[in-house]
Structures are given as structure tokens and as C-alpha cells.
Amino acid sequence: MRIADSATMRLLDERCQTDYGIPGILLMEGAARALLKHLNLEKTYFVVVCGPGNNGGDGLALARLLKALGKEVDVFSLRPPLSYPREAGVYGEILVKAGISHQVLSPEESLWSFSEALKDADVLVDALWGTGLTRPLPDFVQKIIRLMNDFSPKIIAVDVPSGLQADTGKPLPEAVHAAKTVTFECLKTGFFQEEAQRYLGQVVVEPIGIPASLKEEVLPPYWVTEPEDLQRIIPLRDRSGYKNCYGHCLVVAGSPGYTGAALLCAEAAVAAGSGLVTLCAHEEALDLLVPRLTEVMSLYPENLEQGTKKADVIALGPGLGNSPATFNLLLQVLKTLLEEGKTGTTLVLDADGLNVLQGRTDLLKDIICPVIITPHPGEMARLTGKTRAEIHDDRVGIARAFAREHGVIVVLKGHRTVITDGIRVQINPTGSSAMAQGGMGDALTGIIASFAGQGISPWDAAVAGVYLHGHIGDLLAKERYSVKPSEIIAALPKVMGQVVRRGDPVENSLGNMIR
């Protein structure tokens, strides 16, 4: 599923008309027909609230279709129907000639009849403003939105809930609380901001007639991960395969007091299918862990060079401690990779493997192998020198810039995890607050590392690892209040088996992406 900002959507609309000769009125009709699919047509009374522009035009076109189906329709708009420009004006004229009930809302007039219509309506369609909104709405329009929000469960938003800025996901300052948002052609970038969730309701994407070839040319390489991606990435195992076919994963993790991080990371790598897993930890921690890791080999730090030489992938950081000793372990790994020319080994850095790079991120530019970093917002703030608030407000932009500058893949964890290599962007739709427990990130690091060690490309390893981790969390959360990292790990082999056999009920999380 593709993602676009408002400027890109405007360009698509313009070029659809100039390059392909598709008149705007066909796109407006396409939008109305797309909306109609999501209205409960067993209902009889529909109220359509129209703004002054193209979003309002979509609402007028929808009103025509509803009237043709014999439904009772009342249209409330911010301008007289015969004053609409261009394509919307055509539907305004149809509205008048078809005798569809219509009232202009203005600051000078009472909103009493509008309020009464809202109470009686079976379905309320929000067609006030779409992706073009960039500045705060007038006080009068904010008042209209507040009245509409008293009936939030019956609101269907056209493209974007009115008042919600499509690029930032912020209300300006009031926004419609929709039960469902029917958005056109692409998901909008602002939909993935945490603040936007309370306004969007269920989100569905509908085509309105823009040619696929034009979208391929114009749209940026931004996607939402879908179940089909997981099924494409995770391969069926060769019946003659053996342990050396599935990668040797070296986990450098764990210190006194933080043995759980190492345990979870290593066990996740085993569960995700690594042929061999070796744990290198501080001596005290390793002695405590060895009896609990029957499927994992062990390695003391003094032998890290040999372990690095043998590894297909290295996960470094969970529970190591933000200390000079951890930085030295990282330097030793980088030195060995360079000396051995191990350009095909993937390095996954998490937790303290990232914390020790604060003020030293230039080191990332000189690493000869693919690097995946998996920061949470606090770690990303330390790496970039920005505040957590700045990270929160521009997750995609900051992650992209860092990835591009340092030549790494960034997995910026959080609500709708962002994956980017500086050019491509993948937004993950799975996972929920039921997974908000310590150790989740350690398990994720082990899963991503395991996939990369099995010959899956670093990009695909990150995309599949993040999706699967969250997907299992979603499945488990249906039956419990909270989900432990160890439960994710325990469920991993079974769910992966279902995926590769194509028998998995891998849900498309887009439908309930935003609740």
C-alpha cells in the first residue's frame, strides 16, 4: 500500500488531467462512487456537510448518487451550490436541478436546523476539507465540527477528517472524529502520527481512477507493509537444508543485571530459524546464562574476534551497558570485519550498541558491511542530538535523513515503526500497546538478525522482522491484556510455518490500522 503527502496527491490529480486527458469530473465521480461503497445503504437519511472546494465537490457528487438511489439527503455547505468552481460547480448545478435539499451554513445564520439534522441523520458525511488544509479553520467552521463530533459514531470522512492536517496528522485546531475515513488512492503521511489516531477511525483506501502507470511514476517509494510482503520475503525451506544453510548469528549482549536482554535476543534468533546462534556476553553474565540457553553456544569477550570471523550476522547491544567496555566490543567487531573484508556480514545495532555511539555516529559511515540500527525514540534523540518531541513530530523525516547521511537502515521503533534506508520508507501497521514491556526490542533485534543471517536481504529482514513481531503481538493480544516478549518468541516458529505454507490467516492490519 502506497503513502503520499498532499503535494504529491495534488500533482497526481493535475497530471491525471494534463497528461492523460482524464477530466477532473471523472475523478470526482470516482470519489463519490468509492464513498458509496462504504455507506450503509439500508439506512434512509443521509446528511452531507460540504466545504468550499474539491472535497465539498466530492460530497455534492455523493449526494447526487444517494438521491438517485431514492435516499433522503440533506446537504449543508459553506457556499451556495451554484458558486462552486469547475467540476464541483457541475455537481452544484445538478444539486439544484435535482431538487436535493440544501442549506448554506454561515456565521450570520443560526445552526439550529443543522443541529436538528445531525440528530436525525442515520449517516453523516464529512466533506468539509481534504488534503489541502494547511492553516487553522475559521472559528465558525470549528463550531460546525464540534457539533458534528457529538455524533462521531455515524461520521464517514471524505479522504481526510476535516481539520486534520494530512501531512502532519495534527488538528488545526479542531478536527472531525470519524468512525471511518475513506481515503483516495494512497494513505496520507500524517495518518501514521500517533496524534492522528483519535480522528481517523477505521481507514480504508479506495481508487478513484488515477492510472497505475502515473502513480508508479509520481509516488515516492513509501509503503505500508502488507501480509503479502511477509509471504514474499520468508522462503520455504529446502528439504535438504541443514544448519549451515540458515546462518550463524552472533549475539553480543548481556551484562550483570541485564542478562534478560541477552536471553531474549538469543532465543528470538533461535526461534526465527537461525541455524547456529552464539552468545557473547560479559563473563559474569555469561556464566549465569549458559545453563538457560541449551540451544545457544557461548563465547567469552576475549574470543570475540574468532566469533566475528565465523558469523553471518552480528546483533550487538542489548543489555551490554552504556560503558567504555561496550564501545570497545563494538570497535573490536568493526576492526575484525574490516580486516577480514566481511562485507556480506550484517551488523544489527540496538540499545547500548547505539548509546555508545552518542557523539560518535560518524563511525557508522566507515563500516564496510550492511548496518541495521533499531533505536526507540529516546535512543534516536541521543544519536541525532534532537529532543524526543522533535523525533515524535517528524519520525519519517528524521529517520530518513539519518539513514541517508550514515548509510544505514534505520528501524525507528514506536507506534507505526518506520523503516528506511534514506530513500525507501516502509511503515509497519502491526503491534499495539499490549506489547509495551521491557525486552520487546531485544526480541525484535534477535528476529531481524536471524532473518539477515539466513540470507534475506538486510532491508527485507528489517521489514519482515518488524511486521512479524507486531503481528504475533496482535494475535496474542486478542486473548490477553498484555503480551510478554517470551510469548512472542514462543509463538514465532508456528506463525512463521503458517506464513511460508501460505496457510496463515495473516491478517491485513490496514483495516484496523488506526483505532
Binding residues for AMP: 413-417, 441
Residue 146 parent element (H or E): helix 139-149
Cell numbers for 93, please give them.
448545478
Of 325, 374, 383, the residue nearest 347 (C-alpha): 374
How many Cα atoms within 13 Å fall on the side-chain side of residue 428? 27
The gap between the terminal CA atoms of the chain, to the nearest Å, is 18
Per the annotation, binding residues for K(+) are: 55, 126, 162
Nearest to 373 by CA among 399, 392, 394: 399
Q: Which residues contact 70 (CB under 8 A, 6 or more apart)?
A: none
Q: Which three cell numbers stand for residue 507?
A: 491478517
DSSP string over 405-455: HHT-EEEE-STT-EEESSS-EEE-----GGG-STTHHHHHHHHHHHHHHTT
- Rounded to whole angstroms, how far apart are CA atoms 22 and 26? 7
How far is 159 from 166, CA to CA, in rounded Å? 9
* Coil, helix or strand at residue 208: coil
How many CB atoms are closer than 10 A to CB 433? 10
Q: Which pairs count as long-range contacts for 178-183, CB under 8 Å and 24+ apart, including other chains?
A: 178/126, 178/152, 179/152, 179/153, 179/154, 179/155, 180/38, 180/155, 180/156, 180/204, 181/156, 181/157, 181/514, 182/34, 182/35, 182/38, 182/156, 182/157, 182/158, 182/206, 183/159
User: Whole-angstrom Cα distance, residue 1 to residue 205?
Assistant: 9
Q: Which three cell numbers stand for residue 347?
A: 551488523
Q: 237 — phi, psi (to 5°)?
A: -80, 140
The string of DSSP codes covering 299-365 is E-GGGHHHHHHH-SEEEE-TTS-SSHHHHHHHHHHHHHHHHHT-TT-EEEE-THHHHTTTT-GGGGG
Binding-site residues: 54-58, 126, 130-136, 159, 162, 261, 319, 376, 413-417, 441-442
Q: At what angle do helices 485-500 and 259-271 cross, to 10 degrees?
A: 10
Alpha carbon distance 236, 436 (integer Å): 31
Q: Is residue 158 within 8 Å of residue 31, measured between CB atoms?
A: yes
Amino acid at 148: M
Please say whether the beta carbons of 163 and 142 come within 8 A: yes
